[in-house]
Amino acid sequence: MTAESYFSLIRSFDLFKNCSDEFVRSFASAVAMRQAPAGTAILTQGQNNTELFILCSGKVVVLVDEEPVAVLEKPGDPIGEISVLLARGATATVVPQTDVQYLSIDVKDLEVFIARAPGDFGYQLFRAFTNVLSEKIVRTNDKARRFELANRTLDLKVKERTADLQKKTDELETRNGELIASHRKLEELYSTKEVTFKKLIDLQSHYLEPLLETVKELEVQVAPAEAVKIGRAKSQIQGSIDMLRPVSALYSTEQAMRSRRVLLVEKDRKQQVLAKMALGGTGVRLDVASTIEEGAELLKGGGQFDLAFVSSELAELIPQIKSISPGTKLVFMASSNVPAELPVLKQHAKDISNIVSRHPEDRTFTVKNVATTVGKLVSQDFFGLEKYMIWGVEVQSKVVTSSAQRPELIEGMQDYFKNLGMRSVIFDRAAAVAEEILMNAIYDAPVDKSGKPLYNQLDRKQVVNLQKNEYGEFRYACDGMLAAISVADPFGAFPMQTLIKYLERNYSGSVETHEEGKGGAGRGLHQIIESSDLVVFNVRRNIRTEVIALFNLDPKAVVEGAKPSFHFFLE
């Protein structure tokens, strides 16, 4: 830009409307035009700042302690003026929401002009700053005034409530005081994970949820204008509760594991060590049997077990477990050599409802999955790919309403994984698996009240539009170590016998011929397992089926010679 262009641009800004042409020209001679893409911070809170910025185009959000407090989008809006005036670190972080252009001038250049003409340039500069800060103070005061008026209105409405509501409000005020006091001692009180979780659960159940109910009651009793404000508060409280729910679920699972008795029937010493590592510190009482005889002795002398892991080599103990401890949930531990395990699995299928296959050398996966399996079974919370990933992972979720959606859903998943930097070989495998489990959820899973398939007989090229009560859910996520996809349907019509039949059919090499374009769910299941590192089937009979496929992102973490694994959980 030319000097005259800079002059014209700066002259158009309200910030300099009362400044002389001479001042504007001097100011314009020292500025430089810059650009910043969306998402790239211009200023970072606390960072030393020696520049004044003036917005020319685009939109930026101002964040204090990572919370948005203002949006600037008017050409001429100053950025960083407070840190420049006070010679201190930036008081806020400023991040473009769109691509932006802005002018920049260094404090040292301003000081040069002030030194040359202290009675003129400095006066006009600080007058411009004073106008800006005055306007901000006026806006802040207006916000405070409106906030005070809203508080008064709410106070009056609360006083008009019944005695019961007044009592609840008083209790709420007391709790809020306790909450504030708790926050002041946060660092001291939250010295352990258990204390932290318990306080967060208390915050949700004893403070936020009662507060939400009170706000809901107030919302229906105030004027529409005030109801809008209360509605915003309600949304914020609900958002906080939603954020705490995963913490509640994790805490509840850990509490459910406390003092539970688990029996491990496993002759492999390395696997015994891995199980002890997985359950150490969870509060689970683990008894280990290396032989059928040891297992029988533990059953006779130890009372009831909540959960029993039984390896396929010692599966002869399963009938005794069912006889002596009938309430015990049984987990059949298979090796990754599926064909070799099928005869034993078929023999004991009537007594078990959960299967976990594993590779003997895959220590990391085994430790994680033992703990996850125990947590799922003792808490009765089977569902969710989050259980196999780092806590707090962001999950994408889409509703499945039609077979015509498949290409769009899969492409969206691939784009998401691609943008995360995932290798194409991984998200291509994920796409192949997603195609199969979506097909199964749309064509094979839906059944009528008598259990008769609704769409299984249709050609897979024929479009199926699901009824609302038949909708599925497609989810996917990545935590940096694993990628996961899942599809759930609302039918829960995938019994273990069907799984065993399909496994036997495919791994025996005697895949039955199906009419082209129809059926073939067994072949699809084979492809799902073979294309994934771990497949998890979660079934709540007549209510829900969820298939989760996991993919290891680190090729170095994949154990040489390891075959795909699968888990099956049936309630």
Instruction: Residue 42: name the closest of 30, 28, 56 by CA.
Output: 56
pLDDT digits (tens, 9 = 90+) for 359-384: 766 666 677 778 788 888 877 788 99
Distance between CA atoms of residues 417 and 438, nearest Å: 18
Closest by alpha carbon to 526, among 513, 551, 509, 546? Answer: 509
Q: What percentage of the chain exceeds 90 in pLDDT?
A: 26
- The pLDDT confidence band at residue 122, using thresholds 50, 70 and 90, is low
Which residues are bridge partners to 477 per DSSP? 395, 484
Q: Write the pLDDT tens digit of every residue in 197-226.
A: 677 777 878 888 888 888 888 877 878 778
Residue 188 has pLDDT above 70, yes or no: no
Task: Give the pLDDT of residue 517.
Answer: 44
What is the mean predicted confidence (pLDDT) over 441-465? 92
pLDDT for the residue 512? 47
Helices of type H across 37-117: 81-86, 107-116
| First and final C-alpha spacing in the chain | 71
**Mean pLDDT confidence for 167-194:** 58
Task: Give the class (CATH, top level) of 3-141.
Answer: mainly beta
Confidence of residue 111 (pLDDT cuts 50, 70, 90): confident
CATH class of the domain at 261-366: alpha beta
Q: 41 — alpha (psi -120 to 50), left (phi > 0) or beta?
A: beta
Nearest to 340 by CA among 363, 360, 364: 360
- Give the least confident one: 108-112, 394-398, 401-405: 108-112
Q: Where are the domains of the chain?
A: 3-141, 161-257, 261-366, 391-562
Q: Is the pLDDT of residue 116 over 50?
A: yes
> What local confidence, expressed as pLDDT, does residue 137 receive?
64
- With a cut of 90, say whether residue 408 has pLDDT above it: yes
CATH topology (fold) of 391-562: Heat Shock Protein 90 (3.30.565)
Q: Provide the pLDDT for residue 557.
A: 59
Mean pLDDT of 513-533: 66
Confidence of residue 441 (pLDDT cuts 50, 70, 90): very high
Tell me the pLDDT band of 262, cut-offs 50, 70 and 90.
confident
Evaluate if residue 500 carries a pLDDT over 70: yes
Whole-number average pLDDT of the chain? 81
Q: Which of 438, 433, 435, 444 is nearest to 528 (CA)?
A: 433
Q: What is the pLDDT of residue 117?
A: 57
- DSSP E strand stretches across 97-144: 100-106
Q: In the sheet that 482-489 helps form, which strands lie side by side, from edge to edge? A: 285-289, 261-265, 307-311, 329-335, 354-358, 565-570, 534-540, 544-552, 482-489, 472-478, 395-400
Residue 533: its pLDDT value, please?
A: 87
Whether 342 shows a pLDDT value over 80: the answer reads: yes
Is 455 a residue whose pLDDT tops 70? yes
What is the Cα 360 distance to its own chain's centre? 31
Looking at the DSSP assignment, which residues form a beta bridge with residue 537?
Answer: 547, 568
> Is the predicted pLDDT of residue 114 greater than 90, yes or no?
no
Closest CA to 71 of 62, 82, 84: 62
> What is the pLDDT at residue 448?
92
How much is the pLDDT for 525? 82
Q: How confident is the model at residue 189 (pLDDT cuts 50, 70, 90)?
A: very low
Where does the pLDDT of residue 511 fall: very low under 50, low under 70, confident under 90, or very high at 90 and above?
very low
Tell me what pLDDT residue 484 has: 95
Over the stretch 36-77, which tens digit does the pLDDT of each residue have? 999 999 999 988 888 889 899 999 999 999 888 889 998 988
Q: Where are the alpha helices (DSSP H) in 20-65?
A: 21-28
For position 468, what pLDDT does the model report?
94
Residue 191 has pLDDT above 50, yes or no: no
Measured CA to CA, the distance from residue 531 to residue 425 in angstroms comes to 11
Residue 415 has pLDDT above 80, yes or no: yes
pLDDT at 292 over 70: yes
pLDDT higher at 337 or 255: 337
| Residue carrying structure tokens 């400044």 | 19
The model's confidence at residue 121, banded by pLDDT at 50, 70 and 90, is low
Q: pTM of this prediction?
A: 0.58
Left if phi > 0, otherwise alpha if psi is -120 to 50, otherwise beta: which for 303? Answer: left
Quick check: helix, strand or coil at residue 95?
A: strand
